[in-house]
Amino acid sequence: MKRSIIPSRLRTGKKSAEESIGKSLERIQGNGFTWISIQNPDREVIEELAQEFNLNSLNIEDCLAKFELPKLDAYEDHFFLILHFPPLFSKISVPQVSQLSVFMGKNFLITIHQGDLRPLVDIVKTCKESQDNQRREQLLGESSGALLHEIIDVLVDDMLHTLRRIMANLVEIEEGVFDERRSVARQISRLRKEITILRRISSPLKRLVLETGKQVQRFIPRDDDDLKLYFDDVIDHLDRIIESLEESRETMEIYKDTDFVLSTEKTNKVLAVLTMIFTLAIPASVIGTFYGMNIALPGGINEEQISIFGSYSTFIIIICASIIPAGLMFAYFKKIGWIG
């Protein structure tokens, strides 16, 4: 037997709960049911709704929390559901998931979120715009279960849009991996994060949508069997998302390894060139080191100058002594294949 929440303690002089939450609470009348949409939930508002619909106190705490694990709790006259959906990746400081809490009974549907589920916000606007709106009639003209299906279906379709963007980014990364002028390591890491978040969300979401489809059957007319087919269609979309994410994850691992191998090869080439330049400069460095000392050396300033090749004989001999060993090393490196 479920526990109902304790009465809310409203202080004297405070605004009413619905006034305090303002535009974040919308109460929309459907065909035989009421849809209450809440953004950025306020405790007093939730407690008043708990009294009105006899909701469980533990579920109230769950929907007020910023993050709770996905779950479904079923009761005699309603069920409570927490679903996770991917955040908007356009911002750096977004949370790891966007959470949707749902209370559903035969004559009511309550959805609670932090306002970051844009498709759900758009549905609320559509239902408020016009009484004669065809889309509004489609959303509110049947039952609370049909509306819940529409909400979940739209949010899952939004995941498909995110998946398509990921696939497009995969093509771009593939081009960048084989372009030596570009670095795609940061893009690969960011996309791997998005894929990981989507994979972490999709599998529990599929399980809960499957259970939700069964629970919804308790609160809809017995002759309405189409709704089960609609939930099955959402499951098919989730199967496609999960399968595509697995393929994308494997592709990303290939691109990551390829980028690492190519980057290592490029670094090795640079190091090889620098090493050979340093090696070829060794003879000149040795000779320059000796003749830079303040001691008497053959051909030095304090010695009698060599004049075999004229006044610059000493300079010519030193240059030859530097170039000939470097040339011999270059020919040897080329012979053994170190220089392509």
CATH number of the structural domain spanning residue 194: 3.30.460.20
Q: Please say if the pLDDT value at position 7 is more than 70.
A: no
Based on the fold, state whether residues 88 and 213 are members of the same structural domain: yes
**Would you say residue 183 lies in a domain?**
yes
The pair of structure tokens assigned to 319 is 């240059």
Average pLDDT over the chain, rounded to an integer: 78
Sign, CA torsion 161/164/170/172 = negative
Tell me: the pLDDT tens digits for 202-229? 989 999 999 988 888 887 765 556 778 8
In a domain, 274, yes or no: no
> Which residue range is the domain that position 311 belongs to?
281-335
244 and 302: one domain? no
Question: CB–CB of 36/55 below 8 Å?
Answer: no
pLDDT digits 0-9 by tens, 106-139: 889 999 988 778 888 888 888 877 665 777 777 7
Asked if residue 56 lies in contact with residue 73, where contact means CB atoms within 8 angstroms, the answer is yes
Does the residue 137 lie in any domain? yes
Residue 275 lies in a domain: no
Q: Is the same domain home to 142 and 255? A: yes
Tell whether 10 is covered by a domain. no
Q: Does 139 share its domain with 257?
A: yes
- Kindly state whether residues 46 and 189 are assigned to the same domain: yes
Q: How confident is the model at residue 92 (pLDDT cuts 50, 70, 90)?
A: very low
**How many angstroms separate the CA atoms of 123 and 147, rounded?**
10
| Burial track 204-243 (b if 16+ CB lie within 10 A, e otherwise) | ebbebbebbbebbbebbeeeeeebbebbeebbebbeebbe
- Condensed to tens digits (0 to 9), the pLDDT of residues 297-339 reads 565 555 555 556 655 666 777 777 778 887 887 888 778 777 7
The pLDDT value given to residue 17: 40
223 plus 122 within the same structural domain: yes
Give the count of domains, the chain: 2
In a domain, 273, yes or no: no
Q: Is residue 114 part of a domain?
A: yes
Q: Which of 219, 235, 264 is the last residue of a domain?
A: 264
Are 161 and 76 found together in one domain? yes
| pLDDT in the model for residue 305 | 57
In this structure, the answer to whether residues 182 and 306 fall within a common structural domain is no
Residue of 162 and 294 predicted with greater confidence: 162
Q: What is the pLDDT of residue 280?
A: 77
Please identify which residue in the block is written with the tokens 């090795």. 268
What pLDDT score was predicted for residue 296? 55
Q: 1 in a domain, yes or no?
A: no
pLDDT at 237: 92
Range of lowest pLDDT (81-95, 190-204, 319-333): 81-95
Q: How many residues does the chain have?
A: 340
Other beta carbons within 10 angstroms of residue 153's beta carbon come to 17
pLDDT score of 111: 92
For the ranges 24-38, 75-89, 157-171, 294-308, the lowest mean pLDDT is seen at: 294-308
Residue 60's identity, in one-letter code, is: I
- Separation CA 326–CA 216 (nearest Å): 83
